[in-house]
Amino acid sequence: MQLVFLESAVSIDRRSGCPINLSLEVFGDRWSLIILRDMIFGGRRHFRELLNGSLEGIASNILADRLKRLMELGLLTKADDPSHKQKAIYSLTEMAITLVPIMAQLGAWGRVWLPVTEELSIRAELLEKGGPPLWNQFMDELRHEHLGAPSKAPPGTPTVRQQLRAAYDEVVARKAEMPSV
């Protein structure tokens, strides 16, 4: 940690000005992207939701550290929850919302080459098949949720997250019916 990064208080190495290197310096660790994944696809906004909801079992000190770091890097913001004076709501910034295409490509690649489970990869499959139009719809929904942007969705259309959720539930239900398959 040596050079000041942008105008924020976070410092990162800046080993080089290569975009791939700089991106790696932002999420080249085992947890940052997992947290963002849970916020983007799981809709989690609170510390406890992220702590207990994650399949991978992040430790609370690491979660606290990464949330702080992601805020300093400009990927998250934090606000008070009106319903509970100690509760904080974390929001994605535009910078984080535009990670959706990267998440989609990562998911698509992992689905092909790594030992994914069916119920957890159905979402990646849907996202891949939907392509950039679906990614854009999803990003618009996230802007509505997290940035208060006006919703562009025609009323009555299911949200992308609902579609992903429905596909997941369907696989889980099918697997429960036919446990041997």
Partner DNA sequence: CAATCTGATTGCATTTTGCAATCAGTTGCA
Partner DNA sequence: TGCAACTGATTGCAAAATGCAATCAGATTG
For a second copy, the binding residues (CB under 8 A) are 5-6, 14-30, 33-34, 37, 55-57, 74, 95, 98-99, 101-103, 105-117, 120-121, 124
Of the candidates 23, 17, 4, 16, the residue with the CA atom closest to the CA atom of residue 98: 23
Contact of residue 103 among DNA, a second copy, none (CB under 5-8 Å per partner type): a second copy
Least gap, CB of 144 to DNA (angstroms): 22
3-state secondary structure at position 90 = strand
129 belongs to the binding site for DNA (CB under 7 A): no
Reference 146, options 40, 35, 32; nearest CA is 40
Judged by DSSP in three states, 123 sits in helix
Task: Please report whether residue 169 would count as binding DNA according to CB under 7 A.
Answer: no
Work out whether 147 is an interface residue with DNA (CB under 7 A): no
Spatial neighbors of 166 by CB under 8 A, at least 6 apart, are 158
Whole-number minimum distance, CB 84 to DNA, in Å?
5
**27 counts as binding DNA under rule CB under 7 A:** no
Residue nearer to DNA on the CB measure, 78 or 174: 78
What character string, x for contact with DNA (CB under 7 A) and - otherwise, covers 58-97?
Answer: xxxxx-xx-xx---------x-----xxxxx---------
Q: Report the alpha-carbon distance of residue 58 to residue 31 in Å, rounded.
A: 8
- Measured from the Cβ of residue 131, the count of other Cβ atoms closer than 10 Å reads 11
- Residue 109 binds: one of DNA, a second copy, none (C-beta under 5 to 8 A by kind): a second copy
Q: Does 120 bind DNA (CB under 7 A)?
A: no
Q: Where are the alpha helices (DSSP H) in 28-153?
A: 32-42, 47-53, 60-72, 94-97, 100-113, 118-147
Q: Determine, following the binding rule CB under 7 A, whether residue 57 of this chain makes contact with DNA.
A: yes
Q: Which of 168, 90, 156, 95 is nearest to 127 (CA)?
A: 168
Per CB under 7 A, the list member of 5, 27, 31, 168 interacting with DNA is 31
Instruction: Work out the angle at residue 22's Cα, subtended by the Cα atoms of residues 19 and 25, and round it to the nearest 5 degrees.
Output: 155
Give me the residues that bind DNA (CB under 7 A), please. Answer: 1, 29-31, 46-48, 57-62, 64-65, 67-68, 78, 84-88
